[in-house]
Structure 1
Amino acid sequence: MKIGLLVPDSDDPTTFIAADPTQLSTSLSNSWQRQALDLLSRAVSLPSELQELAREFHAPKQPGGSIEHVQGKALIRQRVQHFRDSGMEEALALQPGGPRLPEILSGMIEQDLETLRSGTKMRTIYHASTRYHQPTRDYVATLARAGGQYRTLDEPYTRLLVMDRRVAVIPIVDDMSLAAFIYDPAVIDYLVEEVFERCWSRALEFDGARTVPQQVVSRLRQTIIDQMLEGTNHRVIARRLGISERTLARHIAEMRDDYKVDSLFQLGYVLGRKTQESAD
């Protein structure tokens, strides 16, 4: 009965009659062949259907966050402002490129003061050339009195902003029209400890005072010397150090007087010999 050799009589359902074995075998054979082909097809396609799931299952677990590219200065500022408005306990910044425009500083000072009053710890590194810029000195002096911490560094470095160690912002292009917002905790920790903190340890305290410490001048000139000996042209040196070409020329002229030479060629020769003697 299970395979259909006996079937109910159409006139009397309580009575069973024998089915034609030939017809039954043909019917069962066709049915079972279709089922077998279906199972075979499913068996063949199963590995490819589960391939993506298998890759995800065997992939190493990655708990880190994402990196988002944001284009356009206005949109970048809006995104940074959003994080500031959400409340911060700590803000770290590397600000290369020399003095900032006075109108930018005046537009920032009230908000930065409010941020400090809310309890946020702010640490910022500027280039040493900002010590010669009165608007920057006034800005730093005001915020330093409110609890902000500032230092200057006389060597080239790249821009970095870290907010609450939850997000780090770095430039993708020099004019900051395209930036990467990094949310991965491991990457952020690396940027803080290996980039910001190392720069902070080498930088010199800056409270906005008008007097430029001799140590700052000496280190700035040493950086100029290193760049000149590498063959870097004056325009690039000035841009890297955040100073004007005119200021760079003044430093070079004073170094010529210090080493009692008349030309830039002679200065380069003397500096090269001095460096070689120090190495020996």
Structure 2
Amino acid sequence: MGGTDEPGVTEGGLGVLSAGARTLYLSAVRSGGRLVPAESGCDGTSQLRELVEIGLLVPDMDDPGVLVAVDPRQLTAGLSAAWQRKALELLSRSMALPSDFQQLSQAYSEVGADPREGGPVEHLVGKTEINQRLSALFEGSTKEILSAQPGGGARSFPTEAAIALDVGILRRGVSRRTIYQPSTRYSAPTRHYVTAMTAEGGQVRTLDEPFTRLMIIDRTVAVIPGSGDTERAAFIRDEAVIGYLLSLFEGCWERAIPFLGNGDVPPEVVTRLRRNIVRMMLQGVGHRVIARNLGLSERTLARHIAELREEYDAETLFQLGWKLSESFHRLPEGDGDLD
């Protein structure tokens, strides 16, 4: 049996019964072809339901509390014919599905289309519909997928599902480039995703400046947030708009720093991140807001501040702020060091 209790698997491969159901049936046969569920401890089990549903165990007409084993040969011909008819019916329905749904698909696609001159813009509302459309676009891609995802740890798909989808895309020969914020280098799920992606030829970089969420598929469809709402997305097919968005993405890509998914954060990334932390601290921004703006967890932000206090030998946050203010304002804008 191979030790499996998975329905449809037997020693020979594809089968009808689970290993547990087969064992229970053989036990009933060896007990004279009769089984009392209440006494045998199998009452209500999935294995018992399997045997009753398929007809290998039936109630005794004289004693309903007893199940009687049926000769499998009596069931084979009838079940085989019934299942073959069901298979043909399902096959026929599957072949008719594209044409049957064509009108419905066309109507669905036209909903939200922008009839104004300049090309269609389709607006979708709700994460479920947005993710379904993204999945279809990803799976149908043939050339490249570009993504700019600020706060990249908050992915549209669960990490393992995103890895499975994107690795499949890369193995089809579709290129994949993604831009994240530097804070994602501190996110274990994102590092796991990036490691899997780069191992398959994907490219990921981080950019230490504000940028907008954007996806471009095969340079024919661009996806941007709709009206600043994460529950809305605009799917754009206008060539001029896509060309403009492509130029924005390529400019960000050139300024971004490669990210391979390992736990080593390049010094320039740490320096720039801490410069932004310091700038907001000196502006009086609260820690929770700083963490949200930079895409950091409050724990990661606290670790950076603790390391800054140690570096500047500051016992209190007030003392740290005073020392940082002196160092920060002596530097020209864009200088990489805080010392």
Deviation at 1:127, TM superposition (A): 2.3
Distance across 2 between alignment mates of 1:264 and 1:174: 35
Amino acid at match of 1:99: G
Amino acid at match of 1:164: D
Deviation at 1:175, TM superposition (A): 5.8
Contact 1:98-1:243 at 8 Å conserved across structures: no
Secondary structure (helix, strand or coil) at the match of 1:231 reads coil
1:160 maps to which of 209, 214, 221: 214
| Paired position in structure 2 for 1:271 | 324
- Is 1:229–2:282 an aligned residue pair? yes
Contact 2:175-2:202 at 8 Å conserved across structures: yes
1:256 maps to which of 303, 306, 309: 309
| Paired position in structure 1 for 2:201 | 147
Amino acid at match of 1:271: L
| Paired position in structure 2 for 1:240 | 293
- Is 1:220–2:273 an aligned residue pair? yes
Written as runs of structure 1 = structure 2, the 5 A alignment for 1:126-205 is 126-172=180-226, 176-194=230-248, 196-205=249-258
Contact 1:155-1:223 at 8 Å conserved across structures: no
TM-score normalized by structure 1? 0.70
Distance across 2 between alignment mates of 1:214 and 1:85: 37
Amino acid at match of 1:115: I
Amino acid at match of 2:311: D
Written as runs of structure 1 = structure 2, the 5 A alignment for 1:86-101 is 86-100=140-154
Contact 1:98-1:128 at 8 Å conserved across structures: no
Amino acid at match of 1:179: A
Deviation at 1:277, TM superposition (A): 2.2
Distance across 1 between alignment mates of 2:257 and 2:127: 30
Contact 1:93-1:123 at 8 Å conserved across structures: yes
Q: For structure 2, which runs of at least 5 residues remain unmatched after alignment? A: 1-115, 334-339
Q: For structure 1, which runs of at least 5 residues remain unmatched after alignment? A: 1-61
In structure 2, the CA distance between the partners of 1:183 and 1:227, relative to structure 1 (3 Å rule), is farther
Contact 1:144-1:207 at 8 Å conserved across structures: yes
Distance across 2 between alignment mates of 1:198 and 1:68: 26
Deviation at 1:63, TM superposition (A): 6.2
Q: Give the length in aligned residue pairs.
A: 218
Secondary structure (helix, strand or coil) at the match of 2:158 reads helix
Written as runs of structure 1 = structure 2, the 5 A alignment for 1:24-39 is none
Give RMSD over aligned pairs.
Answer: 2.5
- Which protein is bigger by CA-based radius of gyration? 1
In structure 2, the CA distance between the partners of 1:102 and 1:83, relative to structure 1 (3 Å rule), is closer
In structure 2, the CA distance between the partners of 1:277 and 1:173, relative to structure 1 (3 Å rule), is same
Secondary structure (helix, strand or coil) at the match of 1:253 reads helix
* Deviation readout 1:180-214 (Å, 9 max, x if unpaired): 222222222222212x2232222211112222222
Deviation at 1:252, TM superposition (A): 1.1
TM-score normalized by structure 2? 0.58
Query: Relative contact order, CA 8 A, sep 6+: which one is greater?
Result: 1
Contact 1:156-1:241 at 8 Å conserved across structures: no
